[in-house]
Amino acid sequence: PPANFHITLAFVGAIAPGPLERLCQAVDDALQRARPAGGELVLDCAGYWPRPGIYWLGPSTWPESLSQLATKLRQLATVAGARRDRRPFQPHISLLRNCSTAPAAPVSQSAICVAYRDFTLFESRQGKTGVSYHPLQQWELAPPDGPAPSFPGRPALG
């Protein structure tokens, strides 16, 4: 469902309450030292990952500061006890999951502009109708340089 659309900066997975508190404090501390700016992503390419069966929409390029933020959050999550994520960072929104074959390529490629001004730690919960995401904590990013884009979005620390 569209309410579940998000871009994962770092996947934390299952983590006990104590380490989760320490992770949130570590993120607070890191942002006190250096707060990256928000920005804008242009979702202009679709992709398919056959092993997990995910069809996704993402940007062909993105700010280095977003990659640096994802790397820092992954490091902090690992120190807090999360499993180390070795996959390269590829910002994306999963459109379809459990696809056994790649969906047909789009006839025309459109671009969607997504602004990000904060990021959120979400808890995912499995229910009868699938997964839903529930915010646990949110962090503001520094104001971006330049004019504000017209479409709000929210990257996530998962």
Active site residue 6: yes
- Bridge partners (DSSP) listed for residue 60: none
Q: Is 92 a catalytic residue?
A: yes
Q: How far apart are CA 124 and CA 132, in angstroms?
A: 6
Q: Which of 6, 72, 74, 117 is flagged as catalytic?
A: 6
Q: 53: burial class by Cβ within 10 Å (0-12, 13-18, 19+)?
A: middle
Check 20, 70, 89, 92 and give the catalytic one: 92
Pick the closest to residue 55 from 99, 25, 8 (CA basis).
99
Question: How far apart, in whole angstroms, are the C-alpha atoms of residue 46 and residue 126?
Answer: 26
Give catalytic residue positions.
Answer: 6, 92
